[in-house]
Structure 1
């Protein structure tokens, strides 16, 4: 299992046009956030902070219930930490999702359910706002937003809270476990 270290460093790689996390011992993680979504501080070297480590542990604990391999869980947790820390403020893109009614108030790290006429799936909330939150897809399958646009595993999107529903993880993933 990957354990956070105070020697980890965030930096922007101009050649790859990607935010990176130097994990030491010749290991580097490439974050999935596009350059246009990064705040200015992402283009400087930054330490992997105590807050980052705390978020990593919270996100990792949440994704441990998902039917993913350990490397995929670590990837999802690290991309979630990067989105929480370096994602630019953006407007919600809620039109891609169906309203699920109610007055849902998600918590950071919570797994939620989103749907539209093309897909339905689970997402993890990585940054909670007053009426909308940034969440990342936790499914290995692409989540279709339209006929030609999809969210990939770990990709972030900001969504209004009325689109979220509580995820029923135990029922959902016990079914997967019985098949394998």
Structure 2
């Protein structure tokens, strides 16, 4: 599989199957999002634009990918890009996570952080896509995150949480 965008890369959004994928020549990556989670698009197939390629390249440089295979890293970056370009806004779900920050944190977008589920006390790694004064939009980069006995997030899913739910990763933990 080629991990840098090529001229034949396309977004494929199928409202009938409620699925989203990236077509990459002979390969494809299925995204965890349902078509209904995305803004309405004028067509089902969209070619990667120059801006998409530039954004993908920038994310590849910024993503904390040391512990991931090239396939996993590519999939995570495509999920981040899809959220950035097409995902509808979501409401915060801070109650699902433990409060951990005592003081204000300097959280930047484009960094990896930890979130710990409140009920199950399981910690997972997330990538901060966007952050403001109160909330951060985070994408799960670990394989899964068990929130409750009935709810588990899959790699690539997003959550919006208040900043007091985030634990920064020490430089020694970044790998």
Identify the structure with the greater helix proportion.
1
Displacement of 1:69 in angstroms is 1.4
Displacement of 1:23 in angstroms is 1.7
Partner of 2:84: 84
Partner of 1:177: none
Structure-2 change in CA distance of 1:143 and 1:27 (3 Å)? same
- 2:32 and 2:154 in contact (8 A); partners too: no
Per-residue CA deviation, residues 35-56 of structure 1 (Å, 9 max, x unaligned), is: 3321112864333233322332
Per-residue CA deviation, residues 58-108 of structure 1 (Å, 9 max, x unaligned), is: 33232322x121111111111111111111111111111112222234323
- 2:31 and 2:156 in contact (8 A); partners too: no
Partner of 1:13: 14
- State the aligned residue count: 170
Q: Distance in 1 between matches of 2:90 and 2:117?
A: 21
1:122 aligns with 2:125: yes
Two-structure CA RMSD over aligned residues (Å): 2.2
Deviates more, 1:162-171 or 1:90-99: 162-171
Which structure 2 segments of 5+ residues have no match? Answer: none
Q: Distance in 2 between matches of 1:14 and 1:22?
A: 16
- 1:136 and 1:157 in contact (8 A); partners too: yes
1:54 aligns with 2:57: no
Displacement of 1:134 in angstroms is 1.9
Q: Distance in 1 between matches of 2:145 and 2:97?
A: 11
Q: Distance in 1 between matches of 2:58 and 2:171?
A: 17
Partner of 1:138: 141
Deviates more, 1:87-96 or 1:37-46: 37-46
Displacement of 1:10 in angstroms is 1.4
Q: Distance in 1 between matches of 2:5 and 2:96?
A: 35
Partner of 2:108: 107
| TM-score, structure 2 normalization | 0.83
Which structure 1 segments of 5+ residues have no match? Answer: 174-180
